[in-house]
Amino acid sequence: MRILQIIPSISPVYGGPSQMVLGLSAALARKNVEVTILTTDSNGDAGQAPLDVPLDRPVDRDGYQIRYFRCAPFRRYKFSLELLRWLGKHAAEFDLAHIHALFSPVSSCAAFVARSHHLPYILRPLGTLDPADLQKKRLLKLIYAALLEKPNIAGAAAIHFTSTQEAKISARFGVSTRDLVIPLGVVTNVTDKLSAIDTDKSSVEIPQILFMSRIDPKKGLNLLIPALENLLAEGIKFKFILAGGNPQDPDYEGKIKAQIEASPINLHTTITGFVTGDRKASLLQNADLFVLPSYYENFGIAVAEAMAAGIPVVISEGVYIWEDVQKAQAGWVCSLTVESLTEMLRLALKDKAERQRKGLKAKECALKEYSWSAIAQQTIQAYQTILSSTVIVTALAVKP
């Protein structure tokens, strides 16, 4: 199979969705699938310089290829006319396109080009069909959907959701779709908390709580900060690590930092900014508890990464893999209130043995459900099913 992965950007500043495409491509390549990523050199929406990458030529990486195109015109919207021209010229060389992101001009137009050249395509909405997300710029999105996304969804071979809950609540604009529910994958061979469980450690050590995600209003920091203040007022000790940034909305990031600096939890908090590589691995290794009380999260890749590292999690019901976490006994699940989050954090912080037990369960769940090898196999099976169906439909269409 020759597969195109099309996404507006794979810059790390855009977080999990972009990095997921890299992980998936490498996993598919290990199973002998030929993968080419089409993307742009976009590197942030607040005046950042573009990625320093070769343009319009293949870049080899981990068994697959990336082809970058300059954002032009409309750099702010990660649009690339050259990418679309290349796709139109080379569509016949591929079996299927896996398009990541809706309501993004380059992805929307890529679906139109693929359809025009009879290239089957799968759409992954990245949470953009969530009713809560659709409320942002609602009127503009309704117009955009009517003109572009409804025909794109109608013409898609399938819609790729990353959790059952995401598929259940997502809008389709009246279109009937074939849904694929395939989770995201994480690297599961990183140093984890299993080896860190140590009976010689002092029972009075102060547990570290890690928040590692984009600093965005939907992530529930307006619940987390007062919940931590409640715990501190109760005399419960902790160290809080806030790891993340938001180059797309630096004003909100600054607002959260100012709120923490003015809070009693400031003396117990370390703000690291955006982290990758060894720094990220170190934070995961040293964390005792991971927290993400998002209002809505179609998957929650940071949660899966923490689980893979053997860290128990405290998440909200807005993180759509919460049922997996609950079923696996991999952490604590709260409702979207300060009181509920405070209660779950209190339970977790007061019971070290239970944290360790749930950390073991979290690791087991991640190995079983979120390994890239398993995700790649599910994805290949979906591709094969779609391509088989396409062959049958084509044969029927040309039958005299």
CA distance 370 to 182: 10
Q: Is residue 198 part of a domain?
A: no
Does pLDDT of 60 surpass 80?
yes
Residue 240 lies in a domain: yes
Contacts for 66-72 with beta carbons within 8 Å, 24 or more apart?
66/10, 66/36, 66/37, 66/39, 67/36, 67/37, 67/38, 67/39, 68/39, 68/40, 68/41, 69/38, 69/39, 69/40, 69/41, 70/40, 70/41, 71/40, 71/41, 71/42
Residues 240-298 have pLDDT tens digits of: 999 999 888 899 999 999 999 999 999 999 999 999 889 999 999 999 999 999 999 99
Q: How far apart are CA 55 and CA 74, in angstroms?
A: 17
**Residue 194 included in any domain:** no
| Domain match, 115 and 144 both | yes
Token duo for residue 157: 């071979």
pLDDT beyond 60 at 135: yes
Residue 328 and residue 375 share a domain: no
**Nearest to residue 40, comparing CAs of 19, 17, 64, 66?**
66
Q: Is the domain of 257 the same as that of 311?
A: yes
**CB atoms closer than 10 angstroms to residue 69:** 23
Report the relative pairing of strands 239-243 and 269-273 from DSSP bridges. parallel
The Cα 28–Cα 383 span in angstroms is 11
Higher pLDDT, 307 or 76: 307
Mean pLDDT of 13-28: 88
For residue 270, what are the contacts with CB-CB under 8 A and spacing of at least 6? Answer: 239, 240, 241, 242
| Domain-located, residue 110 | yes
389 shares its domain with 331: no
Same domain, 93 and 170: yes
Residues 150 and 232 in one domain: no
pLDDT band at 44 (very low <50, low <70, confident <90, very high): confident
Total domains, the chain: 2
Q: Calculate the average pLDDT of the chain.
A: 91
Note the pLDDT of residue 196: 42
Q: Is residue 197 part of a domain?
A: no
- Whether residue 220 sits in one domain with residue 142: no
Whether 58 has a pLDDT exceeding 80, the answer reads: yes
pLDDT exceeding 90 applies to what percent of the chain? 84
User: Domain check: are 217 and 170 in the same one?
Assistant: no
Summarize pLDDT for 216-241 with one digit per residue, the tens. 999 999 999 999 999 999 999 999 99
Tens-place pLDDT, residues 341-395 = 999 999 999 999 999 999 999 999 999 999 999 999 999 999 999 999 865 554 4
- Assigned domain for 135 exists: yes
What is the domain-level CATH number for residue 343?
3.40.50.2000
Domain presence at residue 224: yes
For residue 116, is pLDDT > 60? yes
Is residue 167 included in any domain, yes or no?
Answer: yes
Residue 395 confidence (pLDDT): 43
Predicted confidence (pLDDT) per residue in 148-187, tens digit? 999 999 999 999 999 999 999 999 999 999 999 999 998 8
216 plus 363 within the same structural domain: yes
Q: Are residues 171 and 222 in the same domain?
A: no
Specify whether 329 is located in the same domain as 381: no
Domain that holds residue 334: 208-369
- 3-state helix, strand, coil split of the chain in percent (to 5) is 45, 20, 35
Dist. CA 32–CA 386, nearest whole Å? 18
The mean per-residue pLDDT over the stretch 52-74 comes to: 94
Predicted local confidence at residue 14, as pLDDT = 82
Do 384 and 293 lie in a common domain?
no
Q: What is the pLDDT of residues 324-335, one digit of tens each?
A: 999 999 999 999
